[in-house]
Amino acid sequence: MDLRIQENCENIDWNIIRDYLKLVGMGYHKPELHQKAFLNSFSVVFIFDHERLIGFGRAISDGAYQAAIYDVVVIPEYQKQGIGRLITERILQRISNCNIMLYANLGREEFYAKLGFRLMKTAMAKYLRPEIMKEKGFIQ
């Protein structure tokens, strides 16, 4: 692998971001909306192998003491090779002064547990489409 880590949004093809989110079964939107989300994020990480985008992630934060991680993706053929850890650890470096929340896709809890995350007992969420999130098993 010839990995390159990019921590800004320069020259990102937002259609690919949408396609990868869709590919791995995560929530996806119009490319312009992903562009807005990443541009407005506190920390962004994109990983390339030989200049092909293979994974990404981002965090929002107040820059002081609270942060949340979203949209962590490694494309299937590159999974289980340490790329997800690399992305998340790089994001964590920029928010090391913060309490950090995220909601894990079902089945990914162990991945985040290995990075030091613990299950929350009182997390509450107000989703735009609660019936779908209930169906997916995110809320009661």
Site string for ligand COA, 65-104 (x = CB under 6 A): -------xxx----xxxxxxx------------------x
Interaction residues for ligand COA, span 14-33 (CB under 6 A): 24, 26
- The kind and range of the H/E element at 3 are strand 3-6
| Environment class of 93 (CB within 10 Å of its CB; exposed 0-12, middle 13-18, buried 19+) | exposed
Name the residue nearer to ligand COA (CB basis): 64 or 110: 110
**What is the pairing mode between strands 43-49 and 99-101?**
unpaired
Cβ proximity to ligand COA, 57 vs 64, nearer residue: 57
Contact flag: residue 44 with ligand COA (CB under 6 A): no
Helix (H) or strand (E) holding 135: helix 130-136
Nearer residue to ligand COA within complex by CB, 73 or 98: 73
CA distance 111 to 116: 9
Non-local CB neighbours of 65 within 8 Å, separated by 6+ positions = 97, 98, 99
| Residue nearest ligand COA by beta-carbon distance | 84
By CB under 6 A, residue 5 contacts ligand COA: no
Query: At closest approach, how far in Å is the CB of 35 from ligand COA?
Result: 20
62 is written with which tokens?
């107040």
Side chain identity, residue 42: F
**E strand or H helix at 55, and its extent?**
strand 52-61
Among 2, 51, 107, 125, binds ligand COA (CB under 6 A): 107
Residues that bind ligand COA (CB under 6 A): 24, 26, 72-74, 79-85, 104-105, 107-108, 110-111, 114
